[in-house]
Amino acid sequence: MTARSMSKGANLPVDAPDVQVELSWAEGAGGPDIDASALLLAQDGRVRDDTDFVFYNQPLHASGAVRHLGKRRDAGTMTDTVRVDLRSLESAITRVVLCASADGGTFGQVRGLTLRLLGTGSGSELARFEMQAGTETAFIAGELYLREGRWKFRAVGQGYASGLAGVATDFGITVDEEPERAPTSAGPAPLTPPPLTPPSPLAPPPPLAAPSPVAPPLAPPPAAPASGGVSGARLSKEEERLPVDMRKRLSLRKEQVAVSLRKHGAVGVSARVVLVLDASGSMSFLYSRGVVADVVERMAAVAAQLDDDGEMQAWTFASEAARLPDLRLGELPEWLRLHVRVGEMSLFRRSKKPRRGMEPGQIDMRTIGIQNEEQKAIAQVRSYARENPAAAPTLVLFFSDGGVHRDAAIERELRAAVEEPIFWQFVGLGRSDYGVLERFDTLPGRRVDNVGFFAVDDISTVPDQELYDRLLSEFPSWIKAARHAGIL
């Protein structure tokens, strides 16, 4: 054993601030496809949420510290690499578990399975760990861990017979589907001893999957405008199809939207209303509590008051964006049940099978993912508005809980949209890190200010009238400026 060759359980200090973990194996016909991945663990030995899993379907951690670089082929050897910038890891992260998984076979069919730890800057080899396997379909190959303020690397070599899903579930990742069985003629996979130190964490309880949201529980109707308040809510036959309590809430909320428009000098204004919902993993709690469903119901009143046809176009987004079926007032309860859903992470990218239990018109939320890519939703809405011009301006109601990390791409999209008849009203739902969205009001070089932003700690506690006042505070002034500039 050379100074850099490691046996199972051995560890060494890591002085390089930025490393690459390279998994390599001999290319061979008929063997499984091998993938590298990484789990970012907190002090309790679990991920904080599904975004702490970096793999082929989610190649970049939100912090930017861990990135899946992908595969290369060189002279009969395949490699798959994960890069870890130890300086950029969040303070809550104390371990980075480095995994390997086999798709379409077992590791016993793979020759030359080796993990190499390399310094990113120098390319020098810091450690090498050669692994032996039988019928395992996943491995914890090694781990980077923080000990007394210093990062170290340990060669682990712990095998799993349950594939990538088994590894991910053990560390708290939500997995709601079973992988296809790997072909094998051997019996059950032998249990491989766990790493020597530190001891493996106790098996966590099964993760709680966020239930599909339903229409929010019926709440007392919001207070009607005070005596002498301004009416002007437009009536719609679609409302007659709604449950009585929902119909009453909608009617009162339309009155409050009309009051807000009157306050801002926008009586009689019409607009095409578009709703965009953040479906990223960090939103799971808000979906499971019915907060997002309640937001949709409250925004339906804005569309009912501003949009002549009472319909609202809608998008969902996380890692990807997708248009949802149009929201028609008379179908509101069913729309909430079918389409207000959080994104999911698909471990099995090669599966083309439709999701079990999906109903017609539903989006497979595995295709949406769990990370934040606001610019993709912005681009799709812009494309829709160009391809479907309307006589009235477009008001986009864009809800997100933050975690914005694509500032440059978002700014490019919104700057390009300045000359388009679209006003973008962003609403922050509790978290911070809204990035460029918070700064857009002060960004120079735009003929008109086409973006509004505000954030609330808990939108469910904000009274309807206050919410509509804030939501519609900048839209009327944009209309005037856009008309003056010839945009409208």
Pairing verdict, β 125-130 and 5-6: parallel
Q: What's the CA gap between 168 and 174, in Å, rounded?
A: 8
φ/ψ region of 169 (left if φ > 0, alpha if ψ in -120 to 50, else beta) reads alpha
Q: What's the CA gap between 28 and 72, in Å, rounded?
A: 14
Task: Compute CA distances 432 → 42, 163, 284, whole Å.
Answer: 20, 36, 16
Which 3-state string (H, E, C) describes 138-163?
EEEEEEEEEECCEEEEEEEEEEECCH
Task: Compute CA distances 462 → 291, 447, 456, 466, 468, whole Å.
Answer: 12, 33, 8, 7, 10
pLDDT score for 230: 40
In three-state secondary structure terms, 58 is strand
| For helices 291-306 and 332-339, angle between their N-to-C axes, nearest 10 degrees | 140
Question: Of 211, 214, 241, nearest to 337 (Cα)?
Answer: 214
Question: Of 188, 203, 300, nearest to 252 (Cα)?
Answer: 300
Q: Is the separation of the CB atoms in 262 and 232 below 8 Å?
A: yes
In three-state secondary structure terms, 395 is strand
pLDDT score for 351: 54
pLDDT score for 270: 93
Q: What's the CA gap between 337 and 214, in Å, rounded?
A: 5
* Distance between start and end Cα atoms, the chain: 74
Question: Of 146, 167, 32, 196, nearest to 98 (Cα)?
Answer: 167
Task: Compute CA distances 340 → 109, 176, 212, 280, whole Å.
Answer: 44, 18, 8, 12
Q: CB neighbours of 385 closer than 8 A, spacing ≥ 6?
A: 274, 394, 420, 421, 422
Residue 425, number of CB atoms within 10 A of its CB: 22
pLDDT score for 208: 40
pLDDT score for 436: 81
| For helices 244-263 and 464-471, angle between their N-to-C axes, nearest 10 degrees | 50
Cis peptide before 198 (omega within 30 of 0): yes
Q: Residue 403 has which token pair? A: 């975690």
pLDDT score for 203: 42
Q: Residue 277 has which token pair? A: 């919902």
pLDDT score for 213: 45
Q: CB neighbours of 85 closer than 8 A, spacing ≥ 6?
A: 17, 18, 64, 65, 66, 120
In 161-302, where do the E strands start and end? 272-278
Task: Compute CA distances 246 → 259, 280, 296, 400, whole Å.
Answer: 20, 28, 12, 25
Task: Compute CA distances 241 → 187, 238, 262, 298, 307, whole Å.
Answer: 59, 6, 28, 17, 18
pLDDT score for 188: 38
In 380-467, where do the E strands start and end? 394-400, 422-429, 451-456
pLDDT score for 51: 86
Q: Is the separation of the CB atoms in 119 and 50 below 8 Å?
A: no
Q: Which residues of 290-320 are buried (b: 16+ CB within 10 A; e: fewer)?
A: bbbbbbbbbbbbbbbbbbeebbbbbbbbbbb
For residue range 314-343, list pLDDT tens digits in order: 999 999 999 999 999 999 999 999 999 998
pLDDT score for 37: 93
Low-confidence ranges of the chain (pLDDT < 70): 1-3, 29, 175-236, 347-354, 431-432
